[in-house]
Amino acid sequence: MTTPSPVVSQAAELLDTAQQAVTPVGTATPWPDLDLDEAYATQAALIARRHARGEHGVGLKLGFTSEAKMRQMGVDEVIVGQLTDGMQAADGGTIDMDALIHPRVEPEVAFLVGADVDLADPDVDLEAALTGVAAGLEIIDSRYDGFRFDLPRVVADNTSAAMFVLGPWRALDEVDLDDVPVTLRARDEVVAEGTTAAILGHPLRTLPRLVALGRRLGLRLPAGSVVLAGAATEAVALGPGAVSAEIPGLGSVRAVAV
């Protein structure tokens, strides 16, 4: 790995500190024109800092794979972020609101990668490597004031990744993911509704996008990795209490924000 440039190291440090101190970075960040390559380098440096603190990579997440999300955030390009074990909460477990700035929750489809995959390999067949699928919840928490960012800034901030929760894995070939309703509930009220078709028409259509991004960035997915395919609905502010996502035929997943 090459040494990050000063602007990249500085951006990574600022965003990492914002997350740890639960204090957002103001809108006037000290890097006015970070380009997308520098933004992904910042994300890598940010993740390297988390790994240095003992966290381990457990997979990748996609962002802006649905119209609803692109419209909500004014961004129109699929992006990738990185997941660590420190971000995962158990199904039915708790989400600590005190560790989050202004969390939002999204219902997701998650894939389990059953074999080592090098996304930079020109012959890669990511779909063939998938063994499982589950309903997921992603908690996003922009480290920017007011959730305001442009594409490079959200990429640098590891695509707002904060926490995620996975429901039970199902065999991929046993589940129909074609236009299945997705329901997000908070404190037993429906707060968002969508369909798996909102995710680029079908959640599996995210895979070529992930491969293209992974090739460009030299990313790998070791066996056992998780891929979050992106939100099927707009993100909803997370408040204290139970939150769950349900996808009939696939399953459900639940957590309690405290």
Residues that bind ligand OOG in the complex, under the rule CB under 6 A = 63-64, 69, 73, 106, 138, 140, 142, 154, 159-160, 230-231, 235
Of 35, 33, 34, 15, residue with least CA distance to 25: 15
Cβ-based nearer residue to ligand OOG, 60 or 130: 60
Cβ-based nearer residue to ligand OOG, 1 or 209: 209
How much helix, strand and coil, in percent to the nearest 5, is found in the chain? Answer: 30, 35, 35
Of 156, 138, 27, residue with least CA distance to 79: 156
Taking the CA of residue 229 as centre, how many other CA atoms within 13 Å lie in the half-sphere pointing to its CB? 33
Torsion angle (degrees, nearest 10) of CA 165, 169, 172, 175: -90
Cβ-based nearer residue to ligand OOG, 26 or 174: 26
Cβ-based nearer residue to ligand OOG, 230 or 251: 230
Least separation in angstroms between residue 106's CB and ligand OOG is 5
Q: Locate 161 and state its tokens.
A: 């990744």
Least separation in angstroms between residue 220's CB and ligand OOG is 21
Least separation in angstroms between residue 75's CB and ligand OOG is 8
The order of strands in the sheet holding 94-95 is 94-95, 251-257, 241-247, 181-186, 189-195
Give CA–CA dist 132/30, Å, rounded: 42
Of 68, 19, 32, residue with least CA distance to 150: 32
Least separation in angstroms between residue 69's CB and ligand OOG is 4
Least separation in angstroms between residue 2's CB and ligand OOG is 27
Contact (CB, 8 A) for 100 and 23: no
Least separation in angstroms between residue 203's CB and ligand OOG is 12
Cβ-based nearer residue to ligand OOG, 18 or 154: 154
Cβ-based nearer residue to ligand OOG, 171 or 208: 208
